[in-house]
Amino acid sequence: MTDKNGFFDLSKTGLTRRTALKGLAAGAGLAVAPGFVRYSQAQSSAPIKIGFQSHRTGIGAAYGRWYEKTTAAAVKAINDAGGINGRPVEVIIEDDGTDPGRGAEVVGKFATQHKTDIVYGTLFSHVVIGSAPAAGEAKMPYFVVSEGHHVASTKLNRYVFQPGITDVKSQIQAMAPWIAANAGKKVTQIFPDFAFGYDHRDYLPPALKAQGAEVIAQIAIPPTESSFTKYFPQIPAETEVIYHVMVGPAVLTFVKELGEFYGSNRPQLFGFIDSLEATDINSPGLEFLDGSHFWEGSPRYAQPDDSAAQKAYRAAVGIDDNGAAVGDPKDVSTAAHMFGCWETLYVVKKAMEDAGYKGPEDRAKLVEATEALTEFAEGPEHPQGPKTFNGKIHQCFGIQNISKVEGGRLNVVHKTKIEDGLYEPEGDYTTQPL
């Protein structure tokens, strides 16, 4: 193992101390330069800049792509109708790699380099939790579309909001009565081994207990796992319902292997559609799902009673009646979650208009204006349904759909009410200083 050709001998490459110092000096110069572009003070016609923290790569990539499509559609609709306070909206996208460390860096980049007005659009809960302190430090309003309970838990900070999608604790509480009454009383949970999964782990058992049912086993699976059969023997034989919620690139494998393990002789299945988001439910090997039930935030398949607003929203985003991209039936959307992007952007619009928002100096006013919101009526701006908003915990509450797999599609069989999912606030963000 000799270095015959001198690949590691710096003296042979002609790098002198002088050139090394020059290089270092140039590098340091670049590092202190304030961003790529100097922006002048925002004029009244300058665009409102929304920094979109997107999961372009990593385990959240499928969600990231559809969150981007939905965001583009919503921004186009907002701009076509005159923008926000008469100013156009511009979205700047940065990839966070679905990674909490990178997420915090991206928030910093939006604050110091792009100088965006707000940061928006994060889904994966560990990225939200990792990025929230950076947003709070930069006093940057941070609107997430994450579904996790972390915002409403009031453990983050005053700058973090989730006004477009209901949190997991509320979803579970609203659906538990239906699960206990229709699926079964002895429940085994399978969930991803990180923050989002822990919401399910922590809030399902008490919610079911209140309905006279119980969780008899909890199986945590790493979100990067690629093979699942080895976990299934942990499911107790007396299980009546398997409650599953998985995320990441291997969700299809997870459901397939569950089918191979049980076949038609399976317990009842109740899943969060997360286990199959962006995946065709008619993929080979998924036939055993027929008759099982899923939570959906917004239905993937067009329903007979869809409102005009829902139809217009689906057309704007570009999904067909099966929830796949128009023109590419194999490109299945993340319909159950991405409506939250559309609705969040309209909440931002409303709050900015209420605050008379002019630029980053008005960020505190924007926070207070968002906290003052209480209700979002169903309509073109909120196609998923009506919602209430609790400004103290920065969280909205809407209806949930329970859908049944029948004839190769998901049909909504039960809609919860907003009141079903309300709980006692765990804290109050408005007491924190701005």
Indicate the SS3 state at residue 188. strand
Judged by CB under 8 A, the chain residues 254 through 273 that form the site for other proteins are 256-257, 260-263
Give the Cβ contact number of residue 79 at 10 Å. 15
- CB nearer to other proteins: give 183 or 250: 250
User: Minimal distance in Å, beta carbon 201 to other proteins?
Assistant: 16
Nearest to 161 by CA among 360, 433, 399, 430: 430
Q: How far is the CB of 366 from other proteins (least distance, A)?
A: 32
| CB closer to other proteins, 260 vs 406 | 260
Cα distance between residue 348 and residue 427, in whole Å: 23
Residue 420 found at the interface with other proteins (CB under 8 A): no
Tracing tokens 């309970």 back to the chain, one arrives at 149
Reading the block at residue 52, the tokens are: 């979109």
What string of H, E and C letters represents the secondary structure of 16-69? CHHHHHHHHHHHHHHHHCCCCCCCCCCCCCCCEEEEEEECCCCCCHHHHHHHHH
Tell whether residue 4 is a contact of other proteins (CB under 8 A): yes
Residue that is written with structure tokens 């940065």 in the block: 94
**CB-neighbour burial class of residue 378 (10 A; exposed 0-12, middle 13-18, buried 19+):** middle
CA gap 341, 347 in Å, rounded? 10
Q: Which of 216, 252, 302, 309 binds other proteins (CB under 8 A)?
A: 252
Query: 395-398 and 387-390: which strand pairing?
Result: antiparallel
Site for other proteins in 197-236 (CB under 8 A): 222, 225-227, 229-230, 232-233
Taking CB under 8 A as the rule, does residue 327 contact other proteins? no
Nearest by Cα to 19 from 7, 11, 30? 11
Site for other proteins in 29-88 (CB under 8 A): 56-58, 61-62, 64-65
For residue 85, the 8-state DSSP code is: T
Q: Is 12 in the site for other proteins (CB under 8 A)?
A: no
Question: Closest distance between other proteins and the C-beta of residue 60, in Å?
Answer: 9
Total number of residues that touch other proteins (CB under 8 A): 36
94 vs 34: CA distance, rounded Å: 18
240 is an interface residue for other proteins by CB under 8 A: no
From the list 47, 249, 318, 386, which residue makes contact with other proteins (rule: CB under 8 A)? 249
We find the least distance from the C-beta atom of residue 2 to other proteins, in angstroms, to be 8
- Which C-beta is closer to other proteins: that of 249 or that of 386? 249
CB of residue 388 to other proteins, shortest distance in Å: 36
Applying CB under 8 A, does 388 fall inside the site for other proteins?
no
From the CB of 57, what's the least distance to other proteins, in Å?
5
Q: 153 in helix, strand or coil? A: coil
| Residue 408 binds to other proteins (criterion: CB under 8 A) | no
Rule CB under 8 A: choose which of 157, 253, 307, 430 binds other proteins. Answer: 253
93 near other proteins, judged by CB under 8 A:
no
Three-state SS at 207:
helix
408, 412, 411: which is closest to 399 by C-alpha?
412
**Is residue 13 at the binding interface for other proteins, with CB under 8 A as the rule?**
no
The answer to whether residue 237 forms part of the interface with other proteins (CB under 8 A) is yes
Contact set for other proteins, span 276-305 (CB under 8 A): 278, 283-285
141 binds other proteins (CB under 8 A): no
* C-beta contacts of 262-265 below 8 A and 24+ residues apart: 262/288, 263/288, 264/288
Alpha helices in 110-250 (DSSP H): 125-137, 168-182, 195-209
Residue closer to other proteins by CB (options 4, 18) is: 4
Residues in touch with other proteins (CB under 8 A): 1, 3-5, 7-8, 56-58, 61-62, 64-65, 222, 225-227, 229-230, 232-233, 237, 249-250, 252-253, 256-257, 260-263, 278, 283-285
